[in-house]
Structure 1
């Protein structure tokens, strides 16, 4: 069937070719989901799988981690796709057949699985599968809202209590963060109780007014910065007026930000008779966001010309104030060339004179924003260990742990972006057979640390590490995946090879004996069934209250 779809698409032209390849894409996605479900079935068929369903990192978690590595996606995205694949195979065989034929898209299939998740009766589920497959067999393109309403109408016919209701807006409250990597800016979307929103507004206004009247920022910019001050636990903003006699600028608030400065060991060993003058340009300091450290290279002997300092000051000042108008006449009256010329005159292309930074997690941070984050920050030196011998203990010293986290920036499992500040420091060759030194240490988030410990060994996940921090993973299917330190782009000096790790002897097969996987109080299937039962009961209560007379 699939080969026939590909052949038909290859032989078509124009719109027919487009339609053909669209069907091929959907059919290919159906087979992709089926392969994921096959991996889950294999995990459940293995010895002891029932016991592992009670593990904190259960069969589902281990399979989605493997899917994420193989398909180059996050384990969260893999989990969502696996859930759709399982539902198609076990609950909607007729819809799955349409999907395999390329007649419906993954977006429609996902909407069906989500909107019909509360249907539990086998007879109702069979009628629903037939109704949905009939409705979408020759469906016309619909908006997301109309697609969901079509599915809801069919669900209501077979099982009214299974509708996914959204009657209470209060239950939809939440906070979302949208970060554009490279800009240094994040967008925050929040739905709050009205009382909490008013309290937040008053608090932000109060923080925004703690600076002197000469601060160059607009009111909106100060309120945005006040949100950051609130997150850091500060009771005031740092004033940016630059005046020597400004009381608000004398003692900048402590922000909880940690700035990691990368410096060679010989710089620290050299002890001049007179202390060097602190660098005036932030180019020598690359900050990190609170708990999300940033690494940089400091070169105290580098002198900067006045032109470079002036340029850096101009870049820094450009963060604040009112944006000047780019156009001398309305945009509708200008040609494209005139508009582009005006924008070029407003912001001519120029190379930044301030070195960029990287947040823990690997996100790029422009130097000017990194400099702003350094106000009131704690400065910590990151020292490359060179050929230093291993430390004679299991837990690495703070200096060594800071280096490993600054070198890695993220969890070192393939595809994981969990910041290294939230990760464990893992011995690649397990202690006490492997040394506590940088070439044998890496950052692993708790989930992937458990995956290596309890899903590793023969036939499971295995890892090896090179002196430059490169880690090679061997997956359960025998495929190899390589991850390199997140600092290698901006701070390659952190990836200079260190002393190689040497095992003290053969590692016993039961080297992790006595360790116990944290256990769940209930399995995923039990949790899902409980959520469905709760929502159906809410629907039942809502339906009964609607049937009651108003008097």
Structure 2
């Protein structure tokens, strides 16, 4: 495609396509803003207190169209509305391809607390004058550049760094984590951190000196055992030590690992001592069969040695199969529930990644007209379950389920989306097809469902304004001292 271009032409092509990409992004956000406006207008005032309000409905359409999560689609909608309604000059630069998506995202986020229309217009103008020169700034410097103009016209709207205690958080997992371990980092209150440190030290001290793990491995295992509800850390010395055995954590927390028979057979034959601390790395004693696969629902694939360690510790192995007959009740049996969650692995709404273990079991054709059968059951997170239930009808969402578990969705705009069972990704040889069910005679009307719709205490917009008001007040308290006149010396 570019074989006949010299270096200068290649760089020019990169610049041109970068501008075109930004312009396309601006056009996409403009379409998102318009769709959000239409959905909010068509919903009327009767749905503003619904748990699945007009914003949720618009977010579902955006997430399905873009193949992203509901949280990511809400972020796109916030940026889109900010560009259209609050920052027209910045939006114009973005539409011309003169600003990147990164810069636009930062500008819209750092100006979200500005409420005065005149101040916002001035900030928009000043930022637009200088933003085209911000492309090389780092994330922190870019934020400071935007904050400079916000501080000039509305000091209480500057996004300020909060106290360390307010920033406490714990994060688990990173995109570059290896498959065997998961990273953990965060910030605790000093008192909580000291209590955790002492508790881990007590658990580590409970094993004998011949335990093969390093001190760091013992602390990591102690934290894992504590998270599972255990009070002690089992010793792994391999002798008749009274401190050996199980730590009891598995009695409190259940983790579902799905594996095919090839992975289970290979793991049962694997004897790798590295997990117990006798080696620096987890290594395979023999390569697993090419069709072996094991996955933690909601967390991704795991290697055979880790599966072998779970089996060594006494993990219960259960065969997953779909009951062949419909069940005469609304709530599915344990076996049917297990099959549906293992088959789906995640919420079946387009773009949603909520793990099946945290999702609801939904009847595609509502009960009692729809059978409690694997061909009529799927996993939906609570938000998309409410959306499917209450945003229905000719101008709402409709879904149809095929015997192999595929779900066909039709959006209010008439677009069609298909989602395959999650098991098809990790276990392509597993045939999840179940019986073809007869077409139901009728379906409940929307009016029947509206009676049971969950309600909010306040509208989404009222919640947003309350948060902005509270944050502006905190900022005002911080900037008040600098507004006072200096004390007069006597």
| TM-score, scaled relative to structure 2 | 0.89
Shift in Å, 1:81: 1.4
What is residue 259 of structure 2 aligned with on the other side? 296
Shift in Å, 1:79: 0.8
8 Å CA contact retained: 1:407, 1:495: no
What is residue 88 of structure 2 aligned with on the other side? 93
Spell out, residue by residue over 1:286-310, the C-alpha distance to the aligned partner (whole angstroms, 9 max, x if none).
xxxx44412234589x988xxx977
Spell out, residue by residue over 1:518-546, the C-alpha distance to the aligned partner (whole angstroms, 9 max, x if none).
11111222112111111221122222244
Q: Map of 1:446-525 to 2, 5 A cutoff?
A: 446-491=382-427, 495-510=431-446, 512-513=448-449, 515-525=451-461
8 Å CA contact retained: 1:410, 1:418: yes
Give distance in 2, aligned partners of 1:478 and 1:486: 25
Note if 1:14 corresponds to 2:10: yes
Q: Which moved more, 1:451-460 or 1:131-140?
A: 131-140
8 Å CA contact retained: 1:217, 1:320: yes
8 Å CA contact retained: 2:225, 2:249: no
What is residue 415 of structure 1 aligned with on the other side? 351
Note if 1:126 corresponds to 2:116: no
Relative distance call for 1:96 and 1:350 in structure 2 (3 A) is farther
Q: Map of 1:521-540 to 2, 5 A cutoff?
A: 521-540=457-476
Give distance in 2, aligned partners of 1:139 and 1:505: 62
What is residue 25 of structure 1 aligned with on the other side? 21
What is residue 218 of structure 2 aligned with on the other side? 222
Give distance in 2, aligned partners of 1:42 and 1:473: 21
Shift in Å, 1:349: 10
Note if 1:368 corresponds to 2:305: yes
8 Å CA contact retained: 1:362, 1:410: no
Give distance in 2, aligned partners of 1:347 and 1:508: 56
Gap runs ≥5 in structure 1? 1-8, 258-289, 325-345
Q: Map of 1:70-85 to 2, 5 A cutoff?
A: 70-85=65-80
8 Å CA contact retained: 1:453, 1:512: no
What is residue 192 of structure 1 aligned with on the other side? 188
Shift in Å, 1:29: 0.8
What is residue 232 of structure 2 aligned with on the other side? 236
Relative distance call for 1:118 and 1:504 in structure 2 (3 A) is closer
8 Å CA contact retained: 2:390, 2:449: no
Give distance in 2, aligned partners of 1:162 and 1:367: 52
Give distance in 1, aligned partners of 2:249 and 2:151: 56
Equivalent of 1:174, from 169, 174, 187?
169
Give distance in 2, aligned partners of 1:358 and 1:374: 14
Spell out, residue by residue over 1:475-530, the C-alpha distance to the aligned partner (whole angstroms, 9 max, x if none).
22222211122223444575432222224523253584464221111122211211
Q: Map of 1:108-147 to 2, 5 A cutoff?
A: 108-139=103-134, 141-147=136-142
SS at match of 1:313: coil
What is residue 323 of structure 1 aligned with on the other side? 280
Spell out, residue by residue over 1:342-370, the C-alpha distance to the aligned partner (whole angstroms, 9 max, x if none).
xxxx9799623795421122611222223
Give distance in 2, aligned partners of 1:163 and 1:253: 50
What is residue 44 of structure 2 aligned with on the other side? 49
Shift in Å, 1:165: 1.2
Q: Which moved more, 1:409-418 or 1:537-546?
A: 537-546
What is residue 271 of structure 2 aligned with on the other side? 313
Shift in Å, 1:322: 5.4
SS at match of 2:191: helix
8 Å CA contact retained: 2:397, 2:410: yes
| TM-score, scaled relative to structure 1 | 0.80
8 Å CA contact retained: 1:255, 1:376: no
SS at match of 1:250: coil
Note if 1:359 corresponds to 2:296: yes
8 Å CA contact retained: 1:291, 1:421: no
What is residue 207 of structure 2 aligned with on the other side? 211
SS at match of 1:443: strand
8 Å CA contact retained: 2:156, 2:476: yes
Shift in Å, 1:109: 1.0
SS at match of 1:157: helix
Shift in Å, 1:137: 3.5
CA RMSD of aligned residues (A): 3.0
Spell out, residue by residue over 1:451-482, the C-alpha distance to the aligned partner (whole angstroms, 9 max, x if none).
10011232221111122222111222222211
Give distance in 2, aligned partners of 1:404 and 1:348: 32
Give distance in 2, aligned partners of 1:488 and 1:239: 39
Relative distance call for 1:166 and 1:254 in structure 2 (3 A) is closer
Note if 1:398 corresponds to 2:393: no
Gap runs ≥5 in structure 2? none
8 Å CA contact retained: 1:429, 1:503: no
Q: Which moved more, 1:63-72 or 1:494-503?
A: 494-503
8 Å CA contact retained: 1:439, 1:465: yes
How many correspondences in the alignment?
A: 480
Give distance in 1, aligned partners of 2:206 and 2:288: 31
8 Å CA contact retained: 1:487, 1:495: no
Spell out, residue by residue over 1:430-468, the C-alpha distance to the aligned partner (whole angstroms, 9 max, x if none).
111111111111111111110100112322211111222
Relative distance call for 1:322 and 1:303 in structure 2 (3 A) is closer
Give distance in 1, aligned partners of 2:409 and 2:377: 14
8 Å CA contact retained: 2:329, 2:372: yes
Shift in Å, 1:382: 3.8
What is residue 68 of structure 1 aligned with on the other side? 63
